[in-house]
Structures are given as structure tokens and as C-alpha cells.
């Protein structure tokens, strides 16, 4: 039996009551409760004071836990976050996301302090592409033009010609020189989608996001049969059979604008469940279904099968407060890497800022 619950901001999240009543393969969204409201507001007050004392800006990715999103100065996707990092006047950047995102902020602000609440907040895509292996592949073809998805290490960025995010990948690929052989690293699923979008052939690195490849076509088809009016909104890190079902394929930021402007009232969201918080706040009166993911590591008794990125969820409000008090863990990078990795990021920001159809 479905029960509609109405969070404070007015949007509706469809929760299912009891495991036996779940329609086939519907993921139940259980917001992670780690703090009492009193604890959360006490920590939030401390963070607000620290922000002023340090002249700090708190940047948070759309997958962060709700209480971090609520205290952040900006919440967005990888593109929005790098644009914010490029223009901030703060002295300290508190980056609530994963390691490669904080590194990008440091590369754009080598003179500033950049802290990450949990130093172990990594990314399976970043891990899949070691810089030495990329350098070896690049040696095999001097005509390669390397386009690196931002989900990679600073060392990989330093070996690349241009960076892209899921929000601008097609634009970046369309702007790549026509006489070059394009090499796309490290996400084979995003790369395959961009090839379809642009018609540009590329050599793809065989990496993927461990969380997004868990989404399966069969469970989404069953969900669609139960909710025929719902729009299916899919992140391009998902596999092709899942992307083929989508009404919209987009970055996390475009998911928000799509759900805001689309007249549909129900949406199945095929990405990390943290984004549901913003969707609920910014789309009053609409219903969001968290797409089910198969996660072999999840306890079999846990009725929630929503997708969570274990790395994104390493950050907590307490760790945000602690990293501001200690100014650690801090992102530090060797000067030559900082200088070389900046070039492809700046190229991305420049291409991204071009008016549409300027290429």
C-alpha cells in the first residue's frame, strides 16, 4: 500500500509501507537519520559561526546528506561546483563532495585552503584510471586528444587536453578538434552516451561508477508498469539498457530543472538518492520515486534498495564542523600538477560558457 508523505517544503515523496506491499522492484527511500533535529541545529549553528570566522564558503554536491545541503552556500552538480570554485572570494573552501571535486577546487584556487570533511571520500571512476596506465595508452597514439570526465584524479587531469562533466560533455566533445582521435576517460557509459549524442567516434576507457551500474532495466520496467504516468530521469553514468528507457538523460543539476519545468507530477529518479532532498524542496506538489538498485553489500533485511554512493555518504555534519575547526583534512597537490591540471579545467570552463551553437 502506498502512503504519500509530505515533507516541509511541500513536494511529495512516495514511500511504501511494509515490504510485502511494495510493488515489484520499487525502492523505498529511507532518509538516513544520523542526528536528532536538536543535534543537527546545534552543529549547523557552529558551522555558520565558523563560516564567518574563517571567511569560508561551503560547497556541497547534490548527493550530500540533507543537513549538509541545508547549511551549504551552494548545492549543485560537478559543473556548478567548479564554476562556484572558480569565482569564490572566500579564503577557505569547505568541499562537501568527493576527493576529485575538492581537488578541482584546489587546482582552481592554489593559494586557498580547501578542506574535505572525510579524506577517504573517493570515487570508483577515479580509481579505475591510474595516471601511469593512461600515460601508457596515450603513448600508443600521438594523435590522441584526451577528454577526461571530471571524476578523475588531478594527475589524470594533468595528462588531459580538456575536462568535461555530465552537464557539458556533449558540448565539450563537439568542440574537440576534428583532426584528432578522441580518447574519453574514465567513464565508458558517459562516453558511449556522448558518442550517441554527438556522432563523434571515441576510444573509451573501461571505467564505470559502481553505484550507477547497479540500476537494471528489468526493475525499471516493472516500476514503469506500476507508475505509467511517471517520467524516468536517468543519469548518463547508467548503462545503455537503462538509458534507453529514459524520458530524460541528464546531469544531477538538469534533473532538478527538468522536474521543475516538466508538467508531469511523478518522476522516477535514476541516480544517487541524495538528490531527492533538493527535488522535494524545489518541486512542491510533485512525487519522486527513488529507482531501486541492487546492492549486494546492503543487509538483506534492509527494505530500502535506493542507490547510495558510499563515498558521498562518508561526509557528515559533524565532520563538516570538525574539518572547519581543524582546517584539515586539507587538499594539497604538487605545484607542477596544480599548474598542468588547471589548463584543461579552464578550457572546459571557457567552452562551457560559450553560447549554445557557437561551435
Provide, rounded to whole angstroms, the least separation between the CB of residue 209 and ligand SF4.
3
**Residue of the chain from 29, 95, 210, 258 that contacts ligand SF4 (CB under 6 A):** 210
For residue 166, the partner it binds in ligand SF4, ligand 13P, none, with Cβ less than 5 to 8 A by kind, is: ligand 13P
**Residue of the chain from 12, 44, 78, 104 that contacts ligand 13P (CB under 6 A):** 78
Q: How far apart are the first and last CA of the chain?
A: 52
**Residue of the chain from 145, 193, 267, 311 that contacts ligand SF4 (CB under 6 A):** 311
Strands (E), 154-247: 162-164, 181-185, 202-204, 231-234
Regarding 166 and contact with ligand 13P (CB under 6 A), the answer is: yes
What DSSP string runs through 265-313? SEEEEES-GGGHHHHHHHSTT-EEEEPB---TTS-TT----B---TTGG
Residues 6+ apart with CB under 8 A from 53: none
Regarding 165 and contact with ligand 13P (CB under 6 A), the answer is: yes
What single-letter DSSP state applies at residue 214? Answer: G
- Report d(CA 230, CA 138) in Å as an integer: 44
Q: What is the dihedral of CA 106, 109, 113, 119, to 10 degrees?
A: -10
Q: 69 or 151: whose CB is closer to ligand 13P?
A: 151
Residues 173-212 that bind ligand 13P (CB under 6 A): 209
For residue 124, the partner it binds in ligand SF4, ligand 13P, none, with Cβ less than 5 to 8 A by kind, is: ligand SF4
The secondary structure element, H or E, covering residue 322 is: helix 317-326
- Report d(CA 98, CA 76) in Å as an integer: 13
Using the rule CB under 6 A, give the single segment among 69-77, 199-207, 208-216, 284-292 that binds ligand SF4.
208-216
Residues 102-161 that bind ligand SF4 (CB under 6 A): 123-125, 151
Interaction site with ligand SF4 (CB under 6 A): 98, 123-125, 151, 209-212, 237, 272, 309, 311-312
Interaction site with ligand 13P (CB under 6 A): 62, 77-78, 151, 165-167, 209, 237, 251-252
Amino acid at each position: 500500500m502506498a502512503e504519500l508523505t509530505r515533507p516541509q517544503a511541500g513536494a511529495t515523496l512516495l514511500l511504501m509501507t511494509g515490504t510485502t506491499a511494495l510493488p515489484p522492484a520499487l525502492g523505498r527511500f529511507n532518509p538516513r537519520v544520523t542526528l536528532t533535529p536538536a543535534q543537527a541545529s546545534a552543529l549547523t549553528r557552529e558551522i555558520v559561526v565558523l563560516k564567518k570566522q574563517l571567511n569560508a564558503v561551503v560547497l556541497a554536491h547534490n548527493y550530500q546528506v540533507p543537513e549538509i545541503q541545508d547549511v551549504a552556500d551552494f548545492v549543485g552538480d560537478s559543473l556548478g561546483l567548479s564554476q562556484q570554485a572558480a569565482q569564490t572570494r572566500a579564503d577557505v573552501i569547505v568541499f562537501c563532495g568527493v576527493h576529485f571535486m575538492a581537488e578541482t577546487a584546489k587546482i582552481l584556487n592554489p593559494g586557498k585552503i580547501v578542506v574535505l570533511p572525510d579524506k577517504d571520500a573517493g570515487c570508483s571512476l577515479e580509481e579505475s584510471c591510474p595516471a601511469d596506465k593512461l600515460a601508457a595508452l596515450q603513448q600508443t597514439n600521438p594523435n590522441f586528444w584526451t577528454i577526461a570526465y571530471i571524476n578523475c584524479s588531478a594527475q589524470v587531469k594533468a595528462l588531459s587536453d580538456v575536462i568535461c562533466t555530465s552537464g557539458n560533455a556533449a558540448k565539450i566533445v563537439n568542440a574537440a578538434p576534428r583532426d584528432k582521435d578522441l580518447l574519453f576517460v574514465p567513464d565508458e557509459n558517459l562516453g558511449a552516451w556522448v558518442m550517441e549524442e554527438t556522432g563523434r567516434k571515441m576510444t573509451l576507457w573501461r571505467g564505470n561508477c559502481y553505484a550507477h551500474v547497479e540500476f537494471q532495466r528489468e526493475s525499471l520496467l516493472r516500476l514503469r508498469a506500476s507508475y505509467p504516468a511517471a517520467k524516468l530521469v536517468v543519469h548518463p553514468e547508467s548503462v545503455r539498457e537503462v538509458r534507453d528507457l529514459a524520458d530524460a538523460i541528464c546531469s544531477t543539476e538538469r534533473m532538478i530543472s527538468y522536474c521543475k519545468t516538466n508538467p508531469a507530477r511523478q518522476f522516477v529518479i535514476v541516480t544517487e538518492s541524495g538528490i531527492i532532498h533538493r527535488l522535494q524542496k524545489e518541486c512542491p506538489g510533485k512525487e519522486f520515486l527513488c529507482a531501486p538498485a541492487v546492492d549486494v553489500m546492503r543487509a538483506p533485511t534492509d527494505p530500502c534498495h535506493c542507490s547510495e554512493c558510499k563515498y558521498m555518504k562518508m561526509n557528515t555534519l559533524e565532520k563538516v564542523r570538525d574539518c572547519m575547526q581543524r582546517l584539515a583534512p586539507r587538499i594539497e597537490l604538487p605545484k607542477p600538477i596544480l599548474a598542468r591540471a588547471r589548463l584543461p579545467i579552464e578550457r572546459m570552463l571557457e567552452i562551457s560558457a560559450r553560447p549554445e551553437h557557437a561551435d
